Structure 1
């Protein structure tokens, strides 16, 4: 289980201490002892995990920014429509007023008394009253339109303020991600080549151990082996991305983060799913692990900060973390939170 660190200061201090220990060991011509490598591994896992959490938050904010841009665009379109209506009503009101002016504004009673045809006079009077009512209705519509326009403008301004605020939050998340990734890379670079290989071997050993324990429960005899047509398409897409680098916030076509890969894989299958692993866990249908089938998504860690697509035979395809590439690996190599089904 990955162990989260409490403060940036603690992370930095621990990283420096471990790096110094490894440097000292290297200067003495000796390899770092297994305990030190275990500590380095735990530190690296923690730093990359925190970076992944920050990435997920960044992606969620980015999604909100995109949605707000669409809402603001819709509001601006409504404002343009309202302004066009306002212009049209103003023109109509002006035309009505000019028509009344041309009629001389003679009262209906006087027109009736002077008319040679009383019936026509009554018709004219009715038309005059109707014209006056229409003018009043137009003026009322104008007032309502102005009010609506003002309200929509205020709403658009509020949405823009939220948009700016989210952009600031996005920038903050970006800085946090870069900071965590830099820490992890610094720590990794402090290892000598032989020690990095030993660390990789240690990671693989632990992954194999976790997978063996998972398979010993007989889980692979219970899970489904056949993907749906959409699931097959999603898996095929993910398989074609193997070898492409992990880049936080990326969703193809040349690089991916974990949820960028899964969301694009299912989009290629014709199914739109949420962008982040956290939202995929929150919004997609949950299925018991023993009922999962190829194409389903496995969500990892208690905070749902990682996701992979299950491809069958106990394996997954995922974009693991910075410095790595999209690859196929064992499904139980990380702490499984649960399984979700995009095409439920």
Structure 2
């Protein structure tokens, strides 16, 4: 990791202060001590830690479902762009085909008229009336050549008509797919908005102290997961250096720290999780799939111990979240609605696997 990146990450760690999501005590990005356990007040009406934990788990489920729906929305949008491009390409082919067909028809008409004028009498009669039999025979050869050319012209005209018919059928099929994709996109958008609205409503029902305790429990859960990941000794095995493209991608991701999460966003002012990683690698000159699920499906898988800065860590069994590994046990990611692009511990969420865009 370069000096500039170390400085940027160090600054981010300083900003988040006592937030313990980065690692366990005594290791890289160690917290001086675990976050304090929230203690309920003496008021009989106070919501208990168990209640707040139940809310945290419910929020996690809502935001997870929103992330899955966001991936579906992004996938539908990406497909719509591809299908629109294919329709445009087919339209261009149809226009060129129609122009070619018009020229072929004009040539065929001229050839038919010339052949009609030349073939007013049978060949035997024309030979008998000719003053120059050799010239007649030479002319007959040219007529035969013309007939062969006419047959070739008609064959080309037929092929062009068939091509136009196929282009039109392909365009119609793409329009049907595009319409289906629009419906899928609209359904995904509706689900994202419903899940986020439900989560925001749930959080809004909490009082200030309860929201603070919720944040503490979120930090505790992330700290516990990161500590377990680091206690496995995995960080000692991860020592691969970043490629040049990986450095560029990681630098791009870290410079986005502090920008808000917005579902479906690809920057430059806001991002969702896969919008951040796809744009980071686009900046490195390596376009990758738009969604976390497609990044997991299409990019090369690498073992966690071989992970290097710039690689992408895919989270959860359904590959619904992705982050950029930046070294020393840390990731940069766009977490969820209501949060900003941030530095976190690589093991703070359940890891599905690691992929390498520039393998």
- TM-score, length-normalised on structure 1? 0.89
| Deviating more after overlay: 251-260 vs 107-116 | 107-116
**Could you give the per-residue CA deviations for residues 14-36 of structure 1, whole angstroms, max 9, x where no partner exists?**
xxxxxxxxxxx99x784311000
Deviation at 1:90, TM superposition (A): 0.5
Counterpart in 1 of 2:170? 155
**Could you give the per-residue CA deviations for residues 152-202 of structure 1, whole angstroms, max 9, x where no partner exists?**
212211110111111011101100110000000001111111111111111
Aligned to 2:324, what secondary structure does the other structure show? Answer: strand
Structure 2 CA distance for aligned equivalents of residues 213 and 126 of structure 1? 91
Counterpart in 1 of 2:250? 235
1:195 aligns with 2:210: yes
Counterpart in 2 of 1:53? 68
Structure 1 CA distance for aligned equivalents of residues 120 and 148 of structure 2? 15
1:306 aligns with 2:300: no
Are the aligned partners of 1:277 and 1:306 in contact in 2 as well (CA < 8 Å)? Answer: yes
**Could you give the per-residue CA deviations for residues 76-132 of structure 1, whole angstroms, max 9, x where no partner exists?**
122112111101100111121232344463333333222222211101111122222
- Aligned match of 2:112 in 97, 101, 120? 97
Counterpart in 1 of 2:297? 282
Are the aligned partners of 1:225 and 1:312 in contact in 2 as well (CA < 8 Å)? Answer: no
Structure 1 CA distance for aligned equivalents of residues 224 and 152 of structure 2? 79
Are the aligned partners of 1:224 and 1:294 in contact in 2 as well (CA < 8 Å)? Answer: no
Unaligned runs of 5+ in 2: 1-39
Deviation at 1:225, TM superposition (A): 4.7
1:226 aligns with 2:235: no
**Could you give the per-residue CA deviations for residues 44-91 of structure 1, whole angstroms, max 9, x where no partner exists?**
000000000010111111111111112212221221121111011001
Are the aligned partners of 2:240 and 2:306 in contact in 1 as well (CA < 8 Å)? Answer: no
Counterpart in 1 of 2:330? 315
Structure 2 CA distance for aligned equivalents of residues 150 and 211 of structure 1? 60
**Could you give the per-residue CA deviations for residues 219-274 of structure 1, whole angstroms, max 9, x where no partner exists?**
11100252111010001111111111111111111111100100110110011111
More helix by share: 1
Structure 2 CA distance for aligned equivalents of residues 146 and 266 of structure 1? 44
Report 1 or 2 for greater relative contact order, CA contacts < 8 Å, sequence distance ≥ 6: 2
1:119 aligns with 2:134: yes
1:142 aligns with 2:157: yes
- Give 1:1-344 correspondences, 5 Å limit: 30-103=45-118, 105-344=120-359
Aligned to 2:268, what secondary structure does the other structure show? Answer: coil
Structure 2 CA distance for aligned equivalents of residues 140 and 313 of structure 1? 68
Structure 2 CA distance for aligned equivalents of residues 220 and 339 of structure 1? 14
Structure 2 CA distance for aligned equivalents of residues 305 and 58 of structure 1? 12
Aligned to 2:347, what secondary structure does the other structure show? Answer: helix
Structure 1 CA distance for aligned equivalents of residues 170 and 250 of structure 2? 43
RMSD between aligned alpha carbons?
1.7
- TM-score, length-normalised on structure 2? 0.85
* Number of equivalenced pairs: 319
Counterpart in 2 of 1:6? none
Structure 2 CA distance for aligned equivalents of residues 110 and 148 of structure 1? 43
Structure 1 consecutive aligned stretches of length 4 or more whose deviation exceeds 6 Å: none
Aligned to 1:310, what secondary structure does the other structure show? Answer: strand
Structure 1 CA distance for aligned equivalents of residues 240 and 47 of structure 2? 44
